[in-house]
Homo-oligomer: A and B are copies of this chain.
């Protein structure tokens, strides 16, 4: 059994990418977009993402420029944070935070009767985050749109891929209609792993490795 197992991670990735390329066939993505979509499929084994992933005009250039300036990144969950390549981000001078489990955020959410995700998002904006990775919380995405509309934040990148049956799809449609530099996966599907995969591919592009 074990003799046939491929153990080299890079070789596994190369073979996986070849399989994905072959099974997807012709697609509408350009040479910067396709590696992003391919990595999402690699992360999920779900080819639906080839049909649902959408890029706002200029979003990759905006994201890469911000990453090369050493951007502050905010994620909506600790799973997204755990999935991000923090070594590569730090080499570019960037950093990432997630405030949803902060004790003070939880306390104020109870007091104010709003979701912790909303207050965690506001805290990230106050701290100067320019890149937002939202894999789960539609309420965080709606709050970001509200703050952007009010001129309180000008994101360089919003990865908006909440998953679910209540509010997720609507939040992604609102984001894509907002003209912010964003990458979304339309429909119900998405999640932490997808948010991290998209961002990690942009990190590879920005780092040029």
| B5 close to A142 (CB less than 8 A) | yes
Contact residue among B114, B168, B192 (Cβ-Cβ distance under 8 Å from A192): B192
Complex contacts, A139 vs chain B, CB 8 Å: 5, 7
In the bound complex, how far is the Cα of B8 from the Cα of A114, in angstroms?
A: 8
Binds B, one of A11-19, A53-61, A64-72: A11-19
Q: How many chain copies?
A: 2
Complex contacts, A9 vs chain B, CB 8 Å: 115
Complex contacts, A193 vs chain B, CB 8 Å: 79, 191-193
Contact residue among B19, B45, B79, B189 (Cβ-Cβ distance under 8 Å from A45): B189
| B192 close to A6 (CB less than 8 A) | no
Complex contacts, A1 vs chain B, CB 8 Å: 142, 174
Judged by a CB distance under 8 angstroms, whether A196 is at the interface is yes
CB distance from A150 to the nearest CB of B (A): 12
Judged by a CB distance under 8 angstroms, whether A155 is at the interface is no
CB distance from A202 to the nearest CB of B (A): 18
Complex contacts, A174 vs chain B, CB 8 Å: 1
| A165 close to B42 (CB less than 8 A) | yes
Judged by a CB distance under 8 angstroms, whether A81 is at the interface is yes
| B79 close to A20 (CB less than 8 A) | no
| B188 close to A45 (CB less than 8 A) | yes
Contact residue among B19, B164, B190 (Cβ-Cβ distance under 8 Å from A12): B164
Most B CB contacts (10 A, CB to CB) among A9, A16, A193 go to A193
Judged by a CB distance under 8 angstroms, whether A207 is at the interface is no
Question: What is the chain B residue whose CB lies nearest that of A11?
Answer: B166
In the bound complex, how far is the Cα of B38 from the Cα of A134, in angstroms?
A: 23
In the bound complex, how far is the Cα of B9 from the Cα of A97, in angstroms?
A: 22
Chain A, 118-162, contact with B by CB distance < 8 Å: what is the 0/1 string? 100000000000000000001100100010000000000000000
Complex contacts, A191 vs chain B, CB 8 Å: 43-44, 193
> Can you pick out 13 interface pairs between chain A and chain B where the beta carbons lie within 8 Å of each other?
A5-B138, A6-B166, A7-B139, A15-B166, A16-B165, A16-B166, A19-B165, A43-B191, A44-B163, A44-B189, A46-B46, A79-B193, A83-B192
